[in-house]
Amino acid sequence: MTDASWTLIDVTVRDEESEIISDFLWSHGVVAIEEIAQERGMLCLRSSVGEQPQEFLALLQDAFPHVASAIVQVDKSVSETWRQFAQPTWVDDDLVIVPQWLSVPEASRVLLIEPLDTFGLGNHPTTVLALRLSMRHIHKQSEVFDLGSGSGILAIATAKYLHCTALAFDIAHGAQKALHLNAELNDVTQVSWSEGYPQHTVDAVLANILAPVLIEHATRILSTVRNGGVVILSGMRLDQVDNVVKHFPDCEQLETMELDGWVAVALRKGEI
């Protein structure tokens, strides 16, 4: 990448596959997706996935081996136009996520966000649902672990408005930088980066990741939260929920929320 260009990816798909591939991109925290029409019913999805596009394309190929993808260089003046169209995201009636370059609307609770060129604006349904459930089910002054933290907005929200101590981790390159930047924007100090899972149990785990990853990490997630603690699972489509939840045995299902076909679930780990 030069100073005058961004490194982006192009993913070429059939029209009928565009929604599921776009969901995959959104769930990995992309900021924007440009749809470029191609010939013979094909569509090019263009987006930024941060400073390590090769790593992301490897994930994409694992999930969709038949999909063609490429790394491209695009002039910054073109690729940054999405910022002109960004809007605040209302999580509920008094909690709003605001891109840091916009004016702040009147609200009692405001979260500022800077996605850099890697992460989303906090407006994807999976993030909104995880945040709603967190505000409802995580106790004040808890210790929280945000798994798949992206921009860090979930960890920061619990620290800012529930007075929690929050740890955050994401495999995405740039996540640690984004966490610290957004914590500073929100005047939050009780948020820390964790190199993987914490070595001790916490009061709550927030896992906003894809359904297959929730299943893969279920045992580790459960061992990280204390008995009686809360687990927030997000990143599932409606038809995936039952299969994911069954991998979290001995948990009480506290609440399920749905938004635009995405689902998040709040669980309480059983007392043993």
Residue 204 · residue 138 · CB < 8 Å:
yes
What does the alpha-carbon distance between residue 184 and residue 103 come to, in Å, rounded to a whole number? 18
Considering only residues 97 and 49, tell me which one the structure prediction assigns the higher pLDDT: 97
pLDDT at residue 252 is higher than 90: yes
Residue 157 confidence (pLDDT) above 70: yes
| pLDDT-based confidence at residue 32 (cuts at 50, 70, 90) | confident
pLDDT at 2: 52
Q: Which amino acid is at 268?
A: R
Over 60: is that where the pLDDT of 144 sits? yes
What pLDDT, in 10s, does the model give residues 189-230? 999 999 999 999 999 999 998 888 999 999 999 999 999 999
- Domains in the chain: boundaries: 5-82, 86-269
Domains 5-82 and 86-269 in one fold: no
pLDDT at residue 81, as a whole number: 66
pLDDT, tens only, 56-106? 888 888 888 888 888 888 766 555 666 777 889 999 999 999 999 999 998
Exposure of 256 by Cβ count < 10 A (0-12 exposed, 13-18 middle, 19+ buried)?
middle
| Band of pLDDT at residue 52, cut at 50, 70 and 90 | confident
Record: fold of 5-82? Alpha-Beta Plaits (3.30.70)
Q: Per-residue confidence at 171, pLDDT binned at 50, 70, 90? A: confident
Q: How many CA atoms lie within 13 A of 255 on its CB side?
A: 13
| pLDDT of amino acid 131 | 97
Residue type, 200: H
Sequential DSSP letters for 9-42 = EEEEEEGGGHHHHHHHHHHTT-S--EEEE-STTE
Just give the CATH number of 86-269.
3.40.50.150
- For 264, the 3-state DSSP assignment is strand
| Percent of residues, the chain, with pLDDT higher than 90 | 55
Residue 122 — pLDDT band, cuts 50, 70, 90? confident
